Structure 1
Amino acid sequence: MATKRLGVIMNGVTGRMGLNQHLIRSIIAIRNQGGVVLKNGDRMLPDPILVGRSADKIERLAKQFGIERWTTDLDKAMENKDDDIFFDAATTQARPGLLSKAVDAGKHIYCEKPIATNLKEAVEVVKRANAKGIKHGTVQDKLFLPGLKKLAMLRDSGFFGRMLSVRGEFGYWVFEGDWQEAQRPSWNYRSEDGGGIILDMVCHWRYVLDNLFGEVESLTCMGSTDIPERWDEQGKKYKATADDSAYATFKLKGGVIAHMNMSWVTRVYRDDLVTFQVDGTHGSAVAGLTECMIQARQATPRPVWNPDEKRTHDFYADWQKVPDNVSYDNGFKEQWEMFIRHVYEDAPYKYTLLEGAKGVQLVECALQSWKERRWIDVPAIQV
């Protein structure tokens, strides 16, 4: 049993998601625990090289976390034969080109989603990676949330009986940037820069729906740009050209109907920033990021509609909390460990670039539905 070096090129880690979830809570956390343990007892210890456009930012980040290697020259980093994995969390528009470059350099690929802004480029990347024989993965983080893991446990146990419907609520108010700093980057609100909540979120709903409730067969979607003007990081006003809210209904294999509301212009009055209510013949559940509440059919009260009297019944009290019978690690870290085992011991791994392409496909279908004001079928992807 030995500790072995794992060279990983990390591009785009100065952004919020790349820094917090992938660098700090995944790679650095894995280093601090002594690496990823393989079946044979060997440990794979990450040795990252941080890549970014700003030398000052990337050097400061490397020093802050005790990382020896950093560069602004991605091409040169790609040439290093001792670095096996390329990870990207930079802008979506540049991702297909960067992934193709990494594939040509013989690197295994792990990246954020969406993997492209259109299906054509996404499929080309999948084909290129498969032809090269490299291993690849797409971040599917929400499947690893404790709340959604509890939903999967309930489904597998038969708790729901026949599943009927899924209703999801996602979003919060993102400040416009004039009187209070925005919580999201300005490019998110410019379609010409790859922004838009449909592109950002529908790719998430694809893997959540496919893996938990049934493969998506068709959908209808409507988007909206509710805030027409925002202020960027320099305090300059700009025109918001991308959708900041959307409402979609999905028909799933097996007959389940799912509906998702997604919005950056809504104020939160619910248990979490994202919630999923699943109704079935035998029981219902409502899950957020970490918690999950259930109500079995035997414990379902008999509500009576009466608008003439003030409601006194506490409906929330009729629900039971699913206990934390197991400990949950950070979901991003958990998937990093799965991918590392996939690369170095060929462990099973299903969240490939093809799954990322499916997310892009659903985005295109949603945008087409919005434009044409109709239901759109979702065919199988040919690669």
Structure 2
Amino acid sequence: MTEQTRVAGATEGALQPKRLGIIMHGVTGRMGMNQHLIRSIAAIRAEGGVPLSDGTRVMPDPILVGRNAEKVARLAAEHGIERWTSDLDGALANADDTVFFDAGTTLMRCDLLRKAIEAGKHVYCEKPIADDIDDALSVARLAREKGVKNGVVQDKLFLPGLRKLRRLIDAGFFGRILSVRGEFGYWVFEGDWMPAQRPSWNYREKDGGGIILDMLCHWRYVLDNLFGEVKAVSCLGATHIPTRWDENGEPYEADADDAAYATFELAGGVIAHINSSWAVRVRRDDLVTFQVDGTHGSAVAGLTKCWSQARVNTPKPVWNPDIPQTIDFFDTWAEVPDNEPYPNGFRVQWEEFIRHVVEDAPWKYDLMEGVKGVQLAKLGLQSWKERRWLDVPELEG
């Protein structure tokens, strides 16, 4: 099939949505395809675009970009996308497409963002925005110098479970927050007798793999926005599974960290500890859980659900190892109800960024927020190497 580069024409009319051309790179991968293309942009298009404050709508008009033309063409056809190409430079040269989005590999991201910014595009991307703090800072500063709008995905903040935690915090439910304990991860099969459910590059250091670089970027914005700015970190990493099998069934050395055990000191004296692992079997409420303990109450949140326990409902156990425990501790918690709809978090953030681009709506998740994530990940790696606590310095934008 020949590569399609036709720009969809806009029909005149007061109710016709405004067109927003978006260059989408890296959407043939799992995250880019499922969350950003199918559940965000395609879903927005199917429902008539993004509503704006003046009552009009904006319709995303994506062009899918990837090196494998056949794969990109097939993906576009499957989801009703008219435009696709394997020519990134050509796509960036089209003045009718004003936004560039990247969900490709971390090692390519910084150069791609620079190229897009130099072409005058607004940029939005997955995290980490780079694998090096200096590169991350340089691209964030370039975006500010060029005056383009910019953003980084911070999807965990939009999870229903964490939004319910936010509701409890805003209501003063916890009193003074004392601590946060997070458990993230699941068993990723090695790939020999059972196919792995994550790409092999995740476990090769040369390809930008490693759970510290991946997940501490997430934990930075979760902790900063919900519980208190991260002030210091102590992190121990591990490569628990040293040999894995790739997509072709070939064994390879898995030299990137597949587990991280990190403790954080937050503003206000809150202590947070988060375990992240691709070598753990799940026996908890969800693939990720956060327990927040405060003077007046506690809560446990997963991806979608959240349970709370106020101090007046807190049981009074007594330690006695000689008899079976008589308290059903799970039964003493109450579920926080779904009092509002919780749409897909990636889509919600896409809609916010589109409004920011089109009508300058408020936006806080710019590339400097992405820099903070890279900073914490690099400090986590340094802490592991040097086996010590490290302070998190203020960043100069």
The match for 2:10 is: none
Task: Tell me which of 354, 374, 378 is aligned to 1:360.
Answer: 374
Shift of 1:41: 1.8
Residue 228 of structure 1 pairs with residue 242 of structure 2: yes
Residue 133 of structure 1 pairs with residue 133 of structure 2: no
Q: Map 1:41-52; keep pairs closer than 5 Å.
A: 41-52=55-66
Offset from partner CA, 1:341-376 (integer Å, 9 cap, x none)? 001111100000000000000001100100000000
Q: Map 1:96-175; keep pairs closer than 5 Å.
A: 96-175=110-189
Offset from partner CA, 1:109-153 (integer Å, 9 cap, x none)? 100000000110000001100000000000000000000000001
Offset from partner CA, 1:185-220 (integer Å, 9 cap, x none)? 000000111000001100000000000000000010
CA distance in 1 between partners of 2:288 and 2:54 (Å): 39
CA distance in 2 between partners of 1:364 and 1:65 (Å): 38
The match for 1:215 is: 229
TM-score (norm 2): 0.96
Please tell me the residue identity of whatever aligns with 1:64: E
Shift of 1:311: 1.4
The match for 2:389 is: 375
Offset from partner CA, 1:263-302 (integer Å, 9 cap, x none)? 0000000000000000000000000000000000011010
Offset from partner CA, 1:302-348 (integer Å, 9 cap, x none)? 01100000113201000000000101111000000000000111110
Residue 318 of structure 1 pairs with residue 332 of structure 2: yes
CA distance in 1 between partners of 2:286 and 2:238 (Å): 23
Task: Tell me which of 55, 60, 63 is aligned to 2:77.
Answer: 63
Q: Map 1:1-383; keep pairs closer than 5 Å.
A: 1-2=14-15, 3-383=17-397
Please tell me the residue identity of whatever aligns with 1:232: D
Structure 2: gaps of 5 or more residues: 1-13
CA distance in 1 between partners of 2:249 and 2:326 (Å): 48
Shift of 1:154: 0.3
Structure 1: gaps of 5 or more residues: none
Shift of 1:56: 1.1
Counterpart of 1:217 in 2: which secondary structure?
strand
Offset from partner CA, 1:44-96 (integer Å, 9 cap, x none)? 10110001111111010011111111011111100000001000000000000
CA distance in 1 between partners of 2:144 and 2:36 (Å): 25
Offset from partner CA, 1:156-175 (integer Å, 9 cap, x none)? 10000000000000000000
Q: Tell me how many residue pairs correspond in the alignment.
A: 383
CA distance in 1 between partners of 2:33 and 2:268 (Å): 39
- Percent identical pairs in the alignment equals 69
TM-score (norm 1): 0.99
CA distance in 2 between partners of 1:285 and 1:41 (Å): 38
Please tell me the residue identity of whatever aligns with 1:94: M
Counterpart of 1:294 in 2: which secondary structure?
strand
Task: Compute the RMSD of aligned alpha carbons.
Answer: 0.6
CA distance in 2 between partners of 1:118 and 1:159 (Å): 39
CA distance in 2 between partners of 1:286 and 1:37 (Å): 34
Counterpart of 1:254 in 2: which secondary structure?
helix
CA distance in 2 between partners of 1:312 and 1:160 (Å): 27
Counterpart of 2:292 in 1: which secondary structure?
strand
Counterpart of 1:233 in 2: which secondary structure?
coil
CA distance in 1 between partners of 2:25 and 2:354 (Å): 17
CA distance in 1 between partners of 2:102 and 2:279 (Å): 28
Please tell me the residue identity of whatever aligns with 1:171: G
Shift of 1:382: 1.0
Please tell me the residue identity of whatever aligns with 2:364: K
Offset from partner CA, 1:18-37 (integer Å, 9 cap, x none)? 00000000000100110011
CA distance in 2 between partners of 1:342 and 1:329 (Å): 19
